[in-house]
Structure 1
Amino acid sequence: MTTIQGNYRKRFRIECLFRALKPKGFKLESTHMTLHDHVERLLCLLTLTYVWCVLVGILQECPLKRHGRRAWSVVTLGLRALVRSISRGADHVDEEVLTLIKLLGLSETA
């Protein structure tokens, strides 16, 4: 039973990644790329971006719905925070942007 639950957990995480890559998130399909090398590089980049969005989204405040779950996914919250921070302009690097970049570094617990 434990193995079945563990496998389902892994599968669900992969499904969350694919959902974020589709029209609800990064809109991978709208690139219309067909060259294998280009798609592979883009998929790697989007996977790293997905992980970054999750790390940033966990830190964001979010209202809860009546059933106790977040109103938005951590990926959506993270993507919004990253876009908001980065779109302020290259000449305006503040502590928030530096903090978000530091999230990509190695964890001290690893």
Structure 2
Amino acid sequence: MNQLKLEYIDLMLIHWPSGYEEGSEPFPKRPDSDKMRYSDEDYLTTWKVLENFVKDGKIRSIGVSNFNHKQIERIIANCAVLPAVLQVELHPYFQQKKLRSFCKEKGIVVTAYR
């Protein structure tokens, strides 16, 4: 926070429900193929760390990006802080009506990218 010269962050998003394994390359690949090596880290672990920052006043709101409704339901069922925002690909050709309806029902704001 000191490097950012901020007292708090308004909104912090978990960009993707899974991450890549740590390594010397930015996008590590499996040794036997061109497929990515994903981390075993559970996004709930990350979410719970962010909840602590909310409790400490360092982050005001937390949300997710590129999550589906089952992943969001898992957060709701296992965590104390409800996602404030879901950021997803959304446009006239990809309207995601069921996901938007789910978020509206849960009080989660949907923001779009194309």
Instruction: Give TM-score scaled by structure 2 length.
Output: 0.29
Higher helix share: 1
Higher strand share: 2
Name which structure has the greater RCO, CA cutoff 8 Å, separation 6+. Answer: 2
* TM-score normalised by length of structure 1: 0.30
